Amino acid sequence: MLDVDTAIPLGLVVNELTTNAFKYALINSDDKEIKICLEEITTGEFKLTFKDNGKGLPEDLDWKKIKSLGLLLIRRLSKQLHGQLNYYFSNGAVFEVSFKDSIRRANVD
């Protein structure tokens, strides 16, 4: 269970990644696949993994500096969760957000 201060930004991240996957990554694919996994790594520390089987981001692209509204939103929401956002390619795009629950985020503030 996640509190509302965690669930809302996390839901927005998943929504944006899903929208981007269907809009860009899976547009010409007949075999569309998205996997979303949320796991508790240790007490109060979680990792969201979002994976699609699309083409991924171009290799020469620095995804941390992209000015697109979607990725900017994902980065900001991850930061709001005091999380770390990572991307890599593994038979499709994989985005991971490691974050803490609101109790542990409050201890950081």
Element spanning 10, H or E: helix 4-20
Q: CATH number, domain at 49? A: 3.30.565.10
pLDDT along the chain (109 residues), means of 10: 89 94 77 93 93 84 74 91 92 93 66
How many structural domains comprise the chain?
1
Question: What is the predicted pLDDT for the residue at 58?
Answer: 72
Q: Output the pTM of the full model.
A: 0.86
How is residue 64 annotated by DSSP? Answer: G
Q: Which residues constitute the domain of residue 99?
A: 4-108
Q: Distance (Å, rounded) from C-alpha 3 to C-alpha 63? A: 29
Strand order in the sheet with 93-100: 34-42, 45-52, 93-100, 84-89
